[in-house]
Structure 1
Amino acid sequence: MDMSADSGQQPKYYTPDPSYRVHSWMGDYSWTYNEFVKDPDKFWDHIAQKLHWFSPYDKVSEWNYPYAKWFVNGKTNITYNCLDRHVLGDRRNKVALIWKGEYPEEERVFTYRQLYREVQRFANGLKKLGVVKGDRVCIYMPVIPEQVIAMLACTRIGAIHSVVFGGYGAAALNQRIVGAGAKIVITADMAIRRGKAIPLKHIIEEAVINAPTVEKIIILRREQRTPVELHSEMEIDFYEAMADVSSDCPAEVMDAEDPLFILYTSGTTGAPKGIVHTCGGYMVGVYYTTKYIFDIKEHDVYWCTADPGWITGHSYVVYGPLSVGATVLIAENTPDYPDPGTWWKIVEEYGVNILYTAPTAIRMFMKLGEEWPNKYNLSSLRVLGSVGEPLNPEAFEWFYHVIGKDKCPIVDTWWQTETGMHMVTTVLGEPMRPGFVGKSVPGIVADVVDKDGNSVEPGKSGFLVIKKPWPSMMRTIWNNDERYRKYWETIPGCYQVGDLAIRGEDGYIMVIGRSDDLIIVSGHNIGTAEVESALVSHKAVAEAAVIGKPDPLKGNTIKAFVTLRVGHTPSEKLKNELIYHVRITLGPIAMPSEIEFVDSLPKTRSGKIVRRVLKAKEMGMDPGDISTLDE
Structure 2
Amino acid sequence: MNYEAFYQKSIEKPQEFWREEATMIDWDKPFEQVLDYSSAPRTRWFTGGTTNLCHNAVDRWLPTQAKTPALIAISTETDSERTYSFEQLHSEVNQVAAMLLSLGVKRGDRVLIYMPMVAEAVFVMLACARIGAVHVVVFGGFAASSLATRIDDATPALIVSTDAGSRGKKVVNYKQLLDEAIGLSEHEVPQVLLLSRGLVSTAIVDGRDVDYDTLRQAHLGAHVPVTWLEANDTSYILYTSGTTGKPKGIQRDVGGYAVALAASMKYIFSGKPGEVFFSTSDIGWVVGHSYIVYGPLLAGMATVLYEGLPTQPDPGVWWRIVEQYEVSLMFSAPTAIRVLKKYPLENMQKYDTSSLRTLFLAGEPLDKGTSEWISNALGVSVIDNYWQTETGWPILGVATGANGKKVPAGSSGVAVYGYQVSIVDDATGAECAANEKGMIMIEGPLPPGCFQTIFRSDQRFIDSYWKQHGDRWLYSSSDWGIRDSDNNYYVLGRSDDVINTAGHRLGTREIEECIAGHEAVSEVAVVGVVDPLKGQIPIAFVVPRSLEHVADDAGRAALRDALSKQVDNRVGSFARPSAIHFVEMLPKTRSGKLLRRSIQAMCEGREAGDISTLENPEALQKIDTIISANHG
Q: CA deviation at 1:384?
A: 1.1
Distance 1:491 1:530 in 2: 30
Identity of aligned residues (%): 38
User: Any gaps of 5 or more consecutive residues in structure 2?
Assistant: 617-632
1:222/1:369 CA distance change after superposition, 3 Å: same
Q: Is 1:482 the counterpart of 2:454 in the alignment?
A: no
How far is the alpha carbon of 1:28 from its aligned partner?
3.4
Q: How many residues align?
A: 600
CA positional deviation for 1:261: 0.6
Match of 1:76 among 51, 55, 71: 51
From 368, 377, 397, the counterpart of 1:425: 397
- Which residue of 423, 444, 448 corresponds with 2:419? 444
Per the TM alignment, residue 104 of structure 1 is displaced from its structure 2 partner at its CA by 8.7
> Which of 365, 384, 407 matches 1:390?
365
- Pairing partner for 1:119 from 93, 112, 134: 93
Give the AA of the match of 2:306: A
2:238 matches 1:263: yes
Q: Secondary structure at the match of 2:96?
A: helix
1-side partners of 2:533 and 2:170: how far apart? 50
Distance in 1 (alpha carbons) for counterparts of 2:295 and 2:274: 16
Give distance in 2, aligned partners of 1:233 and 1:577: 65
Is 2:549 the partner of 1:568?
yes
CA distance in 2, matches of 1:66, 1:210: 36
Give, in whole Å, the separation in 1 of the partners of 2:188 and 2:267.
41
Q: 1:125-148 CA distances to partner (integer Å, 9 max, x unpaired)?
A: 111111101111110111111110
1:496 counterpart SS class: strand
Q: Structure 2 CA distance, aligned partners of 1:74 and 1:307?
A: 31
Distance, in Å, in 2 between the alignment partners of 1:622 and 1:586 is 31
TM-score by length of structure 1 reads 0.92
Equivalent of 1:460, from 429, 436, 441? Answer: 436
Counterpart in 1 of 2:154?
180
Q: CA deviation at 1:602?
A: 1.0
Partner SS for 2:93: helix
* Distance in structure 1 (CA, Å) of the matches to 2:164 and 2:8: 50
Q: Which has the higher contact order (CA 8 A, sep 6+)?
A: 1
State how 1:299-318 maps to structure 2 within 5 Å.
299-318=274-293
Indicate conservation of the 8 Å contact 2:424/2:441, yes or no.
yes
1:297 matched residue in structure 2? 272
Paired position in structure 1 for 2:629: none
Cα deviation, 1:385-427, whole Å, max 9, x if unaligned, reads 0010111100110121112x1xx22221111000011111022
Deviates more, 1:90-99 or 1:226-235: 226-235
Residues in 1 aligned to 2:573 and 2:524: alpha-carbon distance in whole angstroms: 18
Shift of 1:151: 0.6
Deviation at 1:511? Answer: 0.4
Q: 1:551 deviation in Å?
A: 1.2
8 Å contact 2:144–2:177 — kept in the other structure?
A: yes
1:582, distance to aligned residue in structure 2 (A): 1.1
Q: Is the 2:24–2:262 contact (alpha carbons within 8 Å) kept by the matching residues of 1?
A: no
**In 1, Cα distance between equivalents of 2:343 and 2:144:** 34
Match of 1:614 in 2: 599
**Equivalent residues in 2 for 1:60-75 (5 A)?**
60-63=34-37, 64-75=39-50
CA–CA separation in structure 2 for the residues paired with 1:169 and 1:38:
46
- Single out whichever of 387-396 and 526-535 deviates more from structure 2: 526-535
Could you tell me whether the CA contact under 8 Å between 1:102 and 1:192 is conserved in 2?
no
Amino acid at match of 1:293: I
Bigger Cα displacement from structure 2, 581-590 vs 565-574:
565-574
Name the CA shift for 1:512/1:167 in 2 (closer, same or farther; >3 Å).
same
1:267 to partner: Cα distance: 5.5
User: Judging changes above 3 Å, is the alpha-carbon distance between structure 1 residues 290 and 213 closer, same or farther for their aligned structure 2 residues?
Assistant: farther
CA distance in 2, matches of 1:420, 1:487: 17
What amino acid sits opposite 1:295 in the alignment? Answer: S
The match for 1:595 is 580
Q: Which string of whole-angstrom CA distances, capped at 9 and with x for unpartnered residues, describes residues 447-468 of structure 1?
A: 1111233221111111111113
Instruction: Provide the secondary structure at the position in 1 that maps to 2:171.
Output: strand
For the 8 Å contact 1:487–1:497, the answer to whether it is kept is no
Distance 2:241 2:197 in 1: 30
- Given that residues 272 and 299 in structure 2 are in contact (C-alpha distance below 8 angstroms), is that contact kept between their aligned partners in structure 1? no
| CA deviation vs aligned residue, 1:110-166 (integer Å, no higher than 9, x gap) | 111111111111111111111101111110111111110111111111111110111
Preserved CA contact (<8 Å) 1:488 1:495: yes
* TM-score of the superposed pair, with normalisation by structure 2: 0.92
Q: Which residue of 1 aligns with 2:294?
A: 319
Instruction: String of CA shifts for 1:302-338, please: whole Å, max 9, x gaps.
Output: 1011111100000011111111111111111200012
- Partner amino acid, structure 2, of 1:582: V
**Residue 472 of structure 1 aligns to a residue in which SS?**
coil
Preserved contact between residue 534 and residue 585 of structure 1 (Cα < 8 Å)? yes
Aligned with 2:23 (options 38, 49, 72): 49
Amino acid at match of 1:462: G
Which moved further from structure 2: 204-213 or 500-509? 204-213
Distance in 2 separating the partners of 1:137 and 1:450? 41
In the alignment, which residue of structure 2 is the partner of 1:283?
258
Q: Give yes or no for contact 1:98–1:109 (8 Å, CA) kept in 2.
A: yes
Q: Secondary structure at the match of 1:67?
A: coil
CA offset digits 1:347-401 (Å, max 9, x no partner) = 1111111111000011111122323212221111111100101111001101211
Counterpart AA for 1:186: V
Please report how far the alpha carbon of residue 169 of structure 1 lies from its aligned counterpart in structure 2 after TM superposition. Answer: 0.9
Structure 2 contact 77–166 (Cα < 8 Å) conserved: no
Alignment of 1:73-152 (within 5 A): 73-87=48-62, 89-102=63-76, 106-152=80-126
Asked if structure 1 preserves the Cα contact closer than 8 Å seen for 2:549 and 2:556, the reply is: no
Code of the aligned partner of 2:21: I
1:526: Cα distance to partner? 1.5
Q: Which amino acid aligns with 1:414?
A: Y
Post-superposition offset of 1:227: 5.6
Find 1:501's aligned residue among 481, 485, 488.
481
What does residue 538 of structure 2 align with? 558
Mapped partners of 1:600, 1:445: distance in 2: 39
Unaligned runs of 5+ in 1: 1-26
CA distance in 2, matches of 1:486, 1:529: 27
Where 2:577 maps in the other structure, the secondary structure is: coil
| Residue 512 of structure 2 is aligned to residue 532 of structure 1 | yes
- AA of the residue aligned to 2:615: D
> Is the Cα contact below 8 Å between 1:427 and 1:441 reproduced in 2?
yes
Letter in 1 for 2:581: E
Residue 91 of structure 1: CA displacement? 1.5
What secondary structure does 1:630 align onto?
A: coil
Alpha-carbon displacement from aligned partner over 1:426-461 (angstroms, at most 9, x marks no partner): 222622311001101122211111123322111111
**CA RMSD of superposed structures (Å):** 1.7
- Pick the aligned partner of 1:628 from 581, 599, 613: 613
CA 431–306 in structure 1, closer or farther in 2 if over 3 Å, else same: same
**Could you tell me whether the CA contact under 8 Å between 2:24 and 2:259 is conserved in 1?**
no
Which of 498, 519, 542 is residue 518 of structure 1 equivalent to?
498
